[in-house]
Copies of this chain bind each other. A is one copy, B any other.
């Protein structure tokens, strides 16, 4: 059973992400270490005691739909009630509407914990956070008054309605249509797919944020508007009025996250109670500026999806480690340590190959965690327009696709390794290891596929700050490496050298891509996007592990893990660099294979 790694998380937040320094310099308001610790400890308790026990039943039963009514798995409705009672939903919302306004870095940390306990459950509240952000940033005062307090408390939940059958990664193709009504509201008509928690029995009302196109809108993404469409219209006095013309047509039958209803939503088929066809909605922000509003939701959502990868990876590691300590097979070879293994069968954790697998899992999880927290902290520091804040903003933009893609790839890789550690038991569903892989597998796909993240990193983020955004980041990471070298601690082994080589690979790949972009050779740049993102994630994550180890050299385990990652996992960066700098020509030549 999942136990929130509160100590590791607090440490990564305070010693690695930058939040600790911000707390010392007063940059993070009145957040104290005690408060941080208290929140994460209590979140860990709630996650382990209340959420985690319901993860398996959620997987087994799944959400079900009948005539547009969606029923969540046994116990989940009560869990959600306990969740809002505990104030967990309000942790991050704006203070004016009942939220605690805690830093995004801390939000990433608690979401990691929820995701470790039950990714399928936590996904609903995660989307509500996105809706709160979009409405708080772009909604009218009336809209805020009516919806925000309910969404912040969790009395109502929010959704994001982007995808249509023909419009996934490419939103320019979307056809959901909005018509103006006389009173400033709109009528929405269309079908949206893959709508997470689009319908459920957790709350009385559901607030849909829907991308649609006005009849006179420009073509492409510049003609998309964002609309707020409640399931039930809200009366003047705040009570719920007639059912809007929106319904859940069906649920998807998915590989994982079964507890989370993934809905096909139909807007405007005339089945509402409003007396007219079309789902009634209100524009969020300005007409035709929907994409910008959506990116407000999307950026933090991408970070939160990254925490899904980390949370599941942590859960997979814990499960595999517990099994490897219990399960005995074979007599472990420990001759290299100059000591004879004891008679009889050894716990499999003592076998070198199993140890390698578990350490790989732990190192990748810690690396991805540090990146998500650093990303969250950059978002926290990015508010405002002065130069320092613009630098933080660039950092946030740079790290978001890495946090999302590297974090979620790690989630899948580590969950799959976790199955392997279990041997035959890993393939048996009752063990729970397989569920983690099934759940984790969606995260590299939604909220922008990891391929889209890589393209975003190369085409939009590398050019930030005149092309220096990654360079500045590497310079900062290099100071950590110098500190490791300066520490000259035998426990670090070859860590400094390995990190130096990895950062050199990152710099070489960055320079290559910037030159390709400058030469308008987007094809070459795009061909290297995915290996480049992985390279950045590995290098940064390894530096962060070392940074943590430096912060407390007495913790030999942290230093040993940082060294393991540097000496065992960083060799990959040279291969990734080579894929970026030498891979495009053979890729282009091999296109005939796919023709």
Contact = CB atoms under 8 A, between A and B. Distances in A.
Interface of A: 163, 166-170, 173, 193-194, 252-256, 321, 324-325, 328-330, 333-337, 345, 349, 351-359, 362, 412, 416, 419-420, 423-424, 426-430, 434, 437-438, 441-442, 444-446, 449-451, 454-455, 491, 493-494, 520-524, 526-527, 529-530, 556-557, 560-561, 563-564, 566-568, 571-572, 574-576, 578-579, 582-594
A430 B428 CA distance: 22
B451 A427 contact: no
A420 B359 CA distance: 26
A571 B568 contact: no
Given A352-B527, A445-B427, A449-B420, A586 B560 contact: yes
Nearest to A166: B328
B173 A345 contact: yes
A249 to B, nearest CB: 15
Contact of A451 (B173, B353, B560, B582): B353
A255 B427 contact: yes
A5 to B, nearest CB: 13
Given A335-B521, A575-B575, A588-B336, A593 B359 contact: yes
A584 B336 contact: yes
B359 A560 contact: no
**How many protomers of this protein does the assembly include?**
2
A428 B254 contact: yes
A431 B357 CA distance: 31
A163 B556 CA distance: 39
B441 A593 contact: no
B564 A354 contact: no
Contact of A524 (B336, B359, B556): B336
Contacts of A362: 593-594
A387 B591 CA distance: 45
A433 B446 CA distance: 16
B521 A336 contact: yes
16 contacts: A169-B330, A170-B345, A254-B428, A325-B594, A335-B521, A335-B523, A351-B526, A352-B526, A353-B455, A359-B587, A427-B441, A438-B438, A560-B592, A564-B593, A567-B585, A575-B575
Contact of A587 (B255, B352, B494, B530): B352
A578 B451 CA distance: 29
A345 B579 CA distance: 27
B336 A522 contact: yes
A493 B585 contact: yes
